[in-house]
Amino acid sequence: MNKRKIYFGAGPAALPPSVLEETARAVLDYAGSGISLLSIAHRDKAFGDIISEASALVLQLANLGSDDYEVLWLQGGGRQQFAMVPMNFLDEGGRAGYIDSGHWAHEAMEAARYYGDVVSLASSAADKYTHLPAWPDGMPGDLQYVHLTSNNTIYGTQWPRIPPCPVPLVVDMSSDIFSRARNYSHCALFYAVAQKNLGPAGVTLVVVRKDMLKRSTRRLPDALSYAAQAKASSMLNTPPVAPIYTCLLMLRWIAERGIADIEEENRTKAAMLYAEIERNSLFQSPVAESSRSLMNVVFTMVDASREQAFLGYSAARDIEGIKGHRSVGGFRASLYNAVRLEDVTALVKAMQDFEKEL
Ligand code: PMP
């Protein structure tokens, strides 16, 4: 392999070298079986062991019990969850509440409108999502669920905690799952696309409280029903065997380090970068300080005409993946779990040297 680049992409995202190397070995020969990971049958014991260990690690990291929660490994990405949540939990004529805190939160809300009545409980859209909206004071009692996006990947804002909620809380944790301590027991369901903090694209983790599986009144095809997927142990159709295996390696890596240590390092990484954005005369943050994400650090240049030059300058130092989302512009450095402290140091140094050389 050529020299490994420092990668801050928002997803698919960087994975630890040890996880990549073990995946590569398994692609050639899974655990000395003489069969590639890409070819092992999903009904074989080998895969049964992979998916059960991965599911057990998810519950262990979330501090939840298998009596209360079901772990599902599904396909269709975040977008499919935007649809499956209302299909399964929003009855014809029922109402659901959404916290409109960013692009993906908004997309999730719009998808629910196909199935029932939707209420925006709080929104920061009018301020271009540069801060989190205030958590609603009260909630209408008739809501079938409330949907929250814990980290807004594009706008770089993050909810510091998952609050207790009087109605079932559904949380999209795609861009910050297992990156800090969270009270997962406040969730009736949480989901996360794998391609940020968990593994490669192609699989989506869903953890659902078992009592929720009985709520669905809509007639649904099995593939789109959480209850049917749970009954089939996520093997209704052929699951994405290789991505699930890489998720298992990533979950082992997270469990070995421990969420507390991971959180501490994530806080250090983010603090370093935000401090440099504040200090450096060339850069600025459009995000309100109290809403800033530890995962996706969004920043711009005071003189936007210099942004292309800084992209080139950092690329010459093997720093890639910092271009901001096309809807926001500027830069975004995603500091997911696999991004190391020294990667952030290299980016900060590039910002400092760029300022000096100008
Ligand atoms: N939710 C969040 C928070 C996201 O960041 C993204 C994508 N980056 C999605 C959902 C959509 O995921 P997908 O591309 O898998 O549909």
pLDDT in tens, 124-164: 999 999 999 999 998 998 999 999 999 999 999 999 999 99
Is residue 182 included in any domain, yes or no?
yes
For range 261-268, the mean pLDDT: 98
For range 103-123, the mean pLDDT: 97
**Confidence at residue 326, expressed as pLDDT on a 0 to 100 scale:** 86
For range 281-285, the mean pLDDT: 98
Residue 214 pLDDT class (50, 70, 90 cuts): very high
**Confidence at residue 217, expressed as pLDDT on a 0 to 100 scale:** 82
Taking the CA of residue 204 as reference, the ligand 1 atom at the shortest distance is 15
Write the CATH number for 65: 3.40.640.10
The reply to whether 214 and 287 lie within a common domain is: no
Name which residue sits closest to atom 9 of ligand 1, judged by CA. 78
Is residue 8 included in any domain, yes or no?
no
The reply to whether 180 and 193 lie within a common domain is: yes
**Which amino acid appears at position 114 of this protein?**
Y
- Percentage of residues in the chain with pLDDT exceeding 70? 100
pLDDT in tens, 164-175: 999 999 999 999
Ligand 1 is surrounded, with C-beta below 6 A, by: 11, 77-79, 104, 149, 153, 172, 174-175, 193
In this predicted structure, the answer to whether residue 2 has a pLDDT above a threshold of 80 is no
The reply to whether 269 and 155 lie within a common domain is: no
Is residue 12 included in any domain, yes or no?
no
pLDDT in tens, 330-355: 999 999 999 999 999 999 999 999 99
The reply to whether 171 and 296 lie within a common domain is: no
- Percentage of residues in the chain with pLDDT exceeding 90? 95
Residue 328 pLDDT class (50, 70, 90 cuts): confident
Is residue 301 included in any domain, yes or no?
yes
The reply to whether 242 and 292 lie within a common domain is: no
The reply to whether 272 and 229 lie within a common domain is: no
For the chain, what is the domain count? 2
Residue 327 pLDDT class (50, 70, 90 cuts): confident
Q: Is there a catalytic annotation at residue 172?
A: yes
**Confidence at residue 1, expressed as pLDDT on a 0 to 100 scale:** 66
In this predicted structure, the answer to whether residue 89 has a pLDDT above a threshold of 90 is yes
In this predicted structure, the answer to whether residue 271 has a pLDDT above a threshold of 70 is yes
The reply to whether 182 and 58 lie within a common domain is: yes
Active-site annotation holder among 104, 159, 176, 269: 104
Is residue 153 included in any domain, yes or no?
yes
Ligand 1 centroid distance, CA of 190 (Å): 13
pLDDT in tens, 177-203: 999 999 999 999 999 999 999 999 999
For range 75-102, the mean pLDDT: 97
Residue among 251, 226, 193, 292 at smallest CA distance from 71: 226
Please enumerate in sequence order all residues whose Cβ is within 8 A of that of 9, keeping only pairs 6 or more positions apart, or say none: 320, 321, 334
End-to-end CA distance of the chain: 34
Taking the CA of residue 173 as reference, the ligand 1 atom at the shortest distance is 3
Q: pTM for the whole thing?
A: 0.98
Indicate left, alpha or beta for 237 from its phi (over 0: left) and psi (-120 to 50: alpha): beta
Please enumerate in sequence order all residues whose Cβ is within 8 A of that of 117, keeping only pairs 6 or more positions apart, or say none: 93, 94, 95, 96
The reply to whether 152 and 65 lie within a common domain is: yes
Ligand 1 centroid distance, CA of 306 (Å): 29
Write the CATH number for 321: 3.90.1150.10
Q: Is there a catalytic annotation at residue 5?
A: no
**Confidence at residue 216, expressed as pLDDT on a 0 to 100 scale:** 82
Domain limit, last residue, from 257, 283, 299: 257
For range 11-28, the mean pLDDT: 97
For range 209-231, the mean pLDDT: 95
Is residue 331 included in any domain, yes or no?
yes
Ligand 1 centroid distance, CA of 193 (Å): 7
**Confidence at residue 358, expressed as pLDDT on a 0 to 100 scale:** 86
Domain that holds residue 310: 258-357
Is residue 2 included in any domain, yes or no?
no
Average pLDDT, the chain: 97
Q: State the Cα–Cα distance between residues 107 and 82, nearest whole angstrom.
A: 7
Q: Is there a catalytic annotation at residue 196?
A: yes
Beta strands 151-152; 157-158: pairing state: antiparallel
Is residue 9 included in any domain, yes or no?
no
The reply to whether 226 and 334 lie within a common domain is: no
The reply to whether 131 and 202 lie within a common domain is: yes
Ligand 1 centroid distance, CA of 334 (Å): 14
The reply to whether 250 and 310 lie within a common domain is: no
Domain limit, last residue, from 257, 273, 296: 257
Active-site annotation holder among 172, 176, 269, 343: 172
Domain limit, last residue, from 198, 228, 257: 257
Residue 29 pLDDT class (50, 70, 90 cuts): very high
**Which amino acid appears at position 262 of this protein?**
I
The reply to whether 67 and 89 lie within a common domain is: yes
